[in-house]
Amino acid sequence: TILVLDFGSQYSHLITRRLREFNVYAEMLPCTQKISELTWKPKGVILSGGPYSVYDKDAPHVDHDVFKLDVPILGICYGMQELAWINGRGVARGEHREYGHATIHVKDSDNKLFHGIDNFQVWMSHGDKLNDLPTGFKTIATTDNSPYAAIAHEKENIWGIQFHPEVTHTTKGKQLLRNFAIDICQADQKWNMKNFIHTEIERIRTLVGEHGEVIGAVSGGVDSTVAAKLMKEAIGDRFHAILVDNGVMRLNECAEVKKTLSDGLGINLTVIDAADEFLSKLKGVTDPEKKRKIIGNTFIHIFEREAARIQPKAGGEIEYLLQGTLYPDVIESISFKGPSQTIKTHHNVGGLLEDMKLKLIEPLRELFKDEVRALGELMGIPHDLVWRHPFPGPGIAIRILGEVTPEQIKIARHADHIYIEEIKKAGIYDKISQAFACLLPVKSVGVMGDQRTYEQVIALRAIETSDFMTADWYIFDAAFLKNVAKRIVNEVDGVARVVYDITSKPPATVEWE
Ligand code: XMP
């Protein structure tokens, strides 16, 4: 395992991601981690970049015991300046930021870090830079702008680079990280999905014991399904999955999820039909945040009530609550956010734990989304489910603008169903990150046959994004949109007009509410 100490750079998590791409396991911890409190010994340490200057009064500094580990160390950007700072010389306060591409000139292609890589393009993003070599170091690469773009203390096995190898703009960055992890640190290349399944199942069995029981909510999304399947493989029917039908899922969704999870994957599933309960609470509510709160709270209430009714299978007690937390959520809660570090809670169903006195079990907490999908495929979860677009917890309640009534749900569901069906038929579902129909609370005039109509508007949304923080609207063929609009107006009672949303995020959000 390689230890990545995070100094708060927006790229830090990509370091662990890249290392895993060549099967080296890496774990990220905040830069304030006390080395004496580590429960495992890393094969090497990477100090990430960060937004600070080592001269800042409250700049974070690494525990000096890191040098006592006697393993190779690589400092990236701030990490390199930190090494020079500890060394006592070499860091110059940046006069202006350097941001963008630069060409690296490798001075010594024999050195292990640049083995097999020559002059290449890198991504620079820094304020301070080195103006002198720290004692014992030599220069191994330069750019036109920095004479110390990469430095090495070969005897101590300490390396520093000014650029970011973890971003894809750095063309040979992955090879460089590979050289560090495999050639320099001699890390094992044993991390892969098959091993992951095996060790995770063993870990769950040990944790839960022979009689322990676990409950968890499933939604039909990829994360909760993969987590549930892992639990089923580990402890069989002692895992109790609960699917709450909140009345605002998509057309036929509840029945389909039930079929896939229960019949297909053999998961011990209880479906709770709570549609009426949710809808009565949503009556008269139009404010989006109120809708979210009502749905979230009602969900917790129903889940707790139903969980209390579950009969343990092995006579033991229900001790654990399963959550499909992913690595990005974990990173969000552990990454270094500065001296006044704020820890964000990452529980999707926050509130459940305190009340229910359950311990948390999170089998996916080491994985990125694409790794969860790979795991899902490997565990025999149907392709359509593995690659499903994300669907918000409050469901179509936040896609029906204004009050959520059974009539409005019927219209919104039907229009959305036609839209998604056409997207799948056109073979573009996997190219789109998320697509859905919104029902607007405005009426517009239309004409059908010889009749004047006066009915509602459907807005179609489709976006492409890698992280949902920013998104671009998807460019459909005009013929595709023409066909979808025609079908919706003809087939869905209550809709007289269809529009396509051509706003990116920002300034708009993905959802309309
Ligand atoms: P926005 O609308 O914030 O959406 O740009 C970004 C992503 O988050 C999803 N989303 C939600 N998911 N509960 C959820 O579970 C919510 O309340 C919620 N609001 C938005 C949205 O579908 C998109 O994928």
DSSP string spanning 151-162? EEETTTTEEEES
Beta strands in 173-227 (DSSP E): 213-217
**ipTM surpassing 0.95:** yes
List residues near ligand 1 (CB under 6 A).
292, 390, 392-394, 434, 468, 505, 509-511
Q: Output the residue whose Cα is nearest ligand 1's atom 12.
A: 392
Q: Is 164 a catalytic residue?
A: yes
Atom of ligand 1 nearest to the CA of 390: 24
User: What is the predicted pLDDT for the residue at 87?
Assistant: 83
> What's the 391 CA to ligand 1 centre distance in angstroms?
8
**Residue 503 Ramachandran class (φ > 0 left, ψ -120 to 50 alpha, else beta):** beta
Instruction: Look up 166 and say whether it is catalytic.
Output: yes
Do the beta carbons of residue 295 and residue 249 sit within 8 Å? no
Between CA 62 and CA 46 the distance in angstroms is 11
Q: How far is the CA of 511 from the centre of ligand 1 (A)?
A: 6
| Res 159: pLDDT | 97
371: its two tokens: 């790794």
- In this prediction the pTM is 0.83
224 is in an annotated binding site: yes
Do the Cβ atoms of 161 and 80 come closer than 8 Å? yes
In 3D, which of 244, 247, 216, 219 has the Cα closest to residue 230? 216
| Tokens found for residue 146 | 């920095």
Contacts of 93 (CB under 8 A, 6+ apart): 53, 55, 127, 128
Question: Which residue(s) pair with 242 in the sheet?
Answer: 217, 270
Helix (H) or strand (E) holding 131: none
* Catalytically annotated residue among 13, 82, 153, 166: 166
Handedness of CA 112, 32, 6, 129 (dihedral sign): negative
Task: Please tell me the distance from the alpha carbon of residue 243 to that of residue 269, in angstroms, as a whole number.
Answer: 7
DSSP 8-state class, residue 14: H
Per-residue pLDDT of the chain (513 residues; tens, 9 = 90+): 999 999 988 888 889 989 999 999 998 899 999 999 999 999 999 999 998 888 888 889 999 999 999 999 999 999 999 998 888 766 766 666 778 889 999 987 788 999 999 888 998 888 788 888 898 999 999 998 888 999 999 899 999 999 999 998 888 999 999 999 999 999 999 999 999 999 999 999 999 999 999 999 999 999 999 999 999 999 999 999 999 999 999 999 999 999 999 999 999 999 999 999 999 999 999 999 999 999 999 999 999 999 888 888 877 789 999 999 998 777 766 666 664 444 334 444 445 656 667 899 999 988 988 899 999 999 999 999 999 999 999 999 999 999 999 999 999 999 999 999 999 999 999 999 999 999 999 999 999 888 899 999 999 999 999 888 889 999 999 999 999 999 999 999 999 999 999 999 999 999 999
Which mutation among 505, 511, 513 tests ligand 1's pocket best, with the greatest number of atoms within 8 A of CB?
511
Do 93 and 55 form a contact (C-beta atoms < 8 A)? yes
Q: Give the helix/strand (H/E) hosting 433.
A: none
Rg (CA), the chain: 27
User: How many angstroms separate the first and last alpha carbons of the chain?
Assistant: 43
Q: What is the pLDDT of residue 452?
A: 93
- Kindly report the number of other CB atoms within 10 A of residue 188's CB atom: 13
**Cα–Cα separations (whole angstroms), residue 450 to 48, 446, 453, 457:** 68, 10, 10, 20
Given a contact cutoff of 8 angstroms between Cβ atoms, the answer to whether 44 and 184 are in contact is yes
Q: Residue 507, preceding bond cis, omega within 30 degrees?
A: yes
For the record, the structure tokens of 217 come out as 């909510």
Q: Relative to the CA of 508, which ligand 1 atom is closest?
A: 5
Asked whether residue 270 is marked as a ligand-binding residue, the answer is no
> How far apart, in whole angstroms, are the C-alpha atoms of residue 256 and residue 259?
5
CA distances for 501 relative to 131, 355, 436, 457, 498, angstroms = 51, 42, 11, 12, 10
Dist CA 457 CA 432 (whole Å): 23
Which residue in 126, 164, 346, 414 is the catalytic one? Answer: 164
Token pair 């001296």 is at which residue? 339
Return all residues near 11 (Cβ < 8 A) that are at least 6 apart: 48, 49, 164, 166, 167
